[in-house]
Amino acid sequence: MGSNRALTAEFDRSDRYFASAPWASIGTEKGPCSWPHVSDTMIFPTQEEIHMSEAALKRIEKGIANLATQQEAICERLIALEGRVATAAGGSAATHDEVIQLLDGFRAGEALGAASICAWIEVCTTDCVRGALRTIHQREAMHAVLLEERMRALGAEPKVEIPTAEVEKAMKSLGSTEQTDAQKLLDFAERTPDADLLLKPIYDMADRLDHDQETQWLLRSIAQDEQSTVALIHEACALLNPQAA
What's the rounded Cα separation, in Å, for the pair 33 and 1? 13
DSSP secondary-structure letter at 241?
A: -
233 touching Fe ion, by CB under 5 A = no
Stretch that binds Fe ion, among 25-33, 114-122, 133-141, 152-160 (CB under 5 A): 133-141
What single letter denotes the amino acid at residue 59? R
Shortest Å distance, C-beta 136 to Fe ion: 8
Q: Would you say 26 or 132 has its CB closer to Fe ion?
A: 132
Rule CB under 5 A: choose which of 94, 113, 146, 175 binds Fe ion.
113
The sign one gets for the Cα dihedral 127, 131, 136, 142 is: positive
175 binds Fe ion (CB under 5 A): no
How many CB atoms neighbour CB 72 within 10 A? Answer: 10
Residue nearest to Fe ion as judged by C-beta position: 113
Q: Which segment (4-12, 43-51, 109-117, 198-206) binds Fe ion by CB under 5 A?
A: 109-117
- Nearest to Fe ion of 26, 103 (CB atom): 103
Only segment of 3-11, 29-37, 104-112, 196-204 that touches Fe ion (CB under 5 A)? 104-112
Measured from the Cβ of residue 192, the count of other Cβ atoms closer than 10 Å reads: 16
Which window, 50-58, 92-100, 106-114, 235-243, contacts Fe ion (CB under 5 A)?
A: 106-114
CB 150 within 8 A of CB 113: no
- The minimum distance between CB 66 and Fe ion, in angstroms, equals 59
When asked if residue 147 is in the footprint of Fe ion (CB under 5 A), the reply is no
Name residues contacting Fe ion, limited to 35-74 (CB under 5 A). Answer: none
> What's the Rg (C-alpha) of the chain?
38
Nearer to Fe ion, 183 or 192 (CB): 192
Give the number of residues in contact with Fe ion, rule: CB under 5 A: 3
Provide, rounded to whole angstroms, the least separation between the CB of residue 110 and Fe ion.
5
CB of 212 to Fe ion, least distance (A): 21
Asked if 94 and 209 count as a contact pair (C-beta separation under 8 A), the reply is yes
Beta strands in the chain, from DSSP E residues, in sequence order: none
Query: Nearest distance from residue 239's CB to Fe ion, in Å?
Result: 21
Query: How far is the C-alpha of 22 from the C-alpha of 159, rounded, in Å?
Result: 71
What does residue 131 show for φ and ψ, rounded to 5 degrees?
-60, -40
Identify which of residues 117 and 182 has a Cβ nearer to Fe ion in the complex. Answer: 117
The interaxial angle of helices 181-191 and 213-240, nearest 10 deg, is: 130
Chain centroid to CA 42:
64
Closest CA to 99 of 199, 195, 200, 212: 212
Contact footprint for Fe ion (CB under 5 A) = 110, 113, 140
